[in-house]
């Protein structure tokens, strides 16, 4: 996919959740690339000034185009044609895939960050090696301390920790049963659901010693899925006769339904409360069309909301970016004839996921020049 033998360049880090998502996509699709760390001079001197903040992953194309954000990176290649298109062509599967992508990339930050930082003492050598590789050890220690401090804003507190761990173990058990029959979440090739889920399941939960040990002991098939997702092409030796297609007729695998119900229990009521917060925020602030979602590019949250996680009271930061993720599900439904849209919503309701598709929102979030901006729809 590159021209003049110039490869794509992925700026990221091995222990980065979102870099892992982009890396898996590139490997699965057989796209030639070079990965460089944030300490590389090109990142600090050329890339960071273009994106306006220190954030990864960033893709640089052979033509010099700079793309930040995993959704935008994946969409860049999807629009050019790839070996295994990640977006299902049927509406129910597509909407469900977007919801699972949201779950992996946003809601599962609780599990990912809890297991990384609450067990820091047990994992200190591994984490320090990861964060100091290619950078100054003193700076690595500061970054680790800052990342550790994010836990309360994710809803990780004394009351929620046992529930977060129980949720991770339940997810492993349900995925273990699913992967006994299917190579990927929606069939025989990875979808955006798989790419969303692999972010936390590889970089944090599949690499850091404590959660990786739990995964290997409790759910070996899930660990094999992590290996498959990080290998070139489709590593499906255990599924030799399984076609590299999504399930036919817009059906969801029977074994995926318990996973989706678990996701619903994990994301609500928090997601509903976050969407309500954003609606109120826009009504009060009335941001201009195209204005940045926050005063500073590096600040992604616009406030805190009190909500509950499996019954435990938590306070979490609210990122408008979640609208950017989920509004693709809304768009899919709005483009359908009424009867088809109703069928999709009925299935989502059966799974407890109907509220994961924002409806009648005051505004949208777009991305311009690699930054999130408000997009009014009224």
Label residues 160-177 b or e (16+ Cβ within 10 Å = b): beebbbebbeebbbbbbb
- Maximal C-alpha separation, the chain: 59
Q: Which are the contacts of 358, defined by CB distance < 8 A and separation ≥ 6?
A: 275, 323, 326, 327, 329, 330
| Prediction pTM value | 0.96
Amino acid 1: pLDDT: 52
* DSSP labels, 231-283: SSS---GGGTT--SSBPGGGPPPGGGHHHHHHHHHHHTTHHHHHHHHHHHHHH
Arch. (CATH architecture) of 91-267: Up-down Bundle (1.20)
Please, which residues bridge with residue 30 across strands? none
Name the 3-class secondary structure at 157.
Answer: coil
Count of beta carbons in the 10 Å neighbourhood of residue 14: 15
For the domain covering 8-78, report its CATH number. 3.40.30.10
Amino acid 50: pLDDT: 93
Written as six digits, the tokens of 178 are 């699913």
Residues 33 and 60: their CA atoms lie apart, in Å, by 10
Secondary-structure breakdown of the chain: helix, strand, coil percentages, each rounded to the nearest 5: 55, 10, 35
Place of tokens 């805190």: 304
What stretch of H or E contains 172? helix 161-179
What stretch of H or E contains 303? none
Residues 296 and 288: their CA atoms lie apart, in Å, by 16
pLDDT in tens for each of the 378 residues of the chain?
544 567 999 999 999 999 999 999 999 999 999 999 998 999 999 999 999 998 999 999 999 999 999 999 999 999 999 999 999 999 999 999 999 999 999 999 999 999 999 999 999 999 999 988 867 777 778 888 888 888 999 999 999 999 999 999 999 999 999 999 999 999 999 999 999 999 999 999 999 999 999 999 999 999 999 999 999 999 999 998 999 999 999 999 999 999 999 999 999 999 999 999 999 999 999 999 999 999 898 899 999 999 999 999 999 999 999 999 999 999 999 999 999 999 999 999 999 999 999 987 877 999 999 999 999 866
Count of beta carbons in the 10 Å neighbourhood of residue 254: 12
Written as six digits, the tokens of 318 are 């609210």
Using the Cα atoms of residue 356, residue 357, residue 363 and residue 365 in order, give the sign of their dihedral: positive
Amino acid 201: pLDDT: 98
Task: Spell out the SS3 assignment of 12-52.
Answer: CCCCCHHHHHHHHHHHHCCCCEEEECCCCHHHHHHHHHHHC
Residues 21 and 26: their CA atoms lie apart, in Å, by 9
Amino acid 371: pLDDT: 94
Amino acid 218: pLDDT: 98
**Domain limits, the chain:** 8-78, 91-267, 270-376
């Amino acid at each position: 996919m590159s021209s003049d033998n110039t490869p794509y360049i992925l700026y990221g880090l091995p222990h980065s959740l979102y870099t892992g998502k982009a890396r898996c996509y590139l490997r699965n699709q057989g796209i030639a690339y070079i990965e460089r760390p944030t300490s590389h001079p090109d990142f600090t001197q050329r890339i960071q000034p273009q994106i306006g903040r220190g954030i990864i992953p960033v893709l640089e194309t052979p033509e010099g185009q700079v793309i930040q954000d995993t959704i935008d990176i994946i969409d860049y290649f999807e629009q050019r044609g790839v070996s295994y298109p990640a977006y299902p062509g049927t509406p129910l599967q597509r909407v469900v895939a977007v919801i699972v992508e949201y779950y992996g990339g946003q809601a599962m930050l609780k599990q990912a960050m809890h297991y990384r930082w609450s067990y820091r003492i047990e994992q200190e050598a591994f984490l320090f090696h990861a964060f100091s590789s290619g950078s100054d050890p003193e700076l690595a220690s500061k970054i680790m301390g800052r990342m550790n401090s994010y836990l309360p804003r994710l809803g990780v507190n004394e009351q929620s920790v046992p529930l977060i761990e129980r949720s991770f173990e339940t997810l492993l058990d349900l995925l273990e049963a699913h992967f006994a029959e299917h190579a990927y979440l929606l069939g025989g090739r990875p979808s955006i659901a798989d790419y969303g889920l692999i972010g936390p399941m590889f970089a944090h939960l599949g690499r850091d010693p404590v959660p990786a040990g739990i995964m290997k002991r409790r759910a070996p098939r899930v660990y094999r899925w992590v290996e498959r997702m990080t290998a070139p092409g489709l590593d499906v030796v255990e599924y030799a006769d399984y076609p590299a297609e999504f399930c036919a007729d817009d059906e969801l695998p029977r074994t995926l339904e318990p996973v989706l119900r678990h996701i619903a229990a994990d994301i609500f009521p928090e997601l509903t409360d976050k969407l309500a917060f954003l609606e109120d925020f826009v009504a009060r602030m009335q941001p201009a069309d195209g204005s940045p979602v926050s005063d500073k590019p590096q600040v992604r949250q616009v406030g805190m909301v009190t909500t509950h996680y499996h019954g435990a009271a938590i306070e979490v930061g609210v990122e408008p970016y979640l609208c950017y993720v989920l509004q693709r599900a809304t768009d899919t439904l709005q483009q359908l004839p009424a009867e088809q849209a109703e069928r999709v919503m009925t299935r989502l309701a059966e799974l407890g996921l109907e509220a994961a598709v924002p409806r009648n929102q005051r505004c949208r979030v777009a991305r311009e020049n690699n930054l999130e901006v408000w997009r009014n729809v009224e």
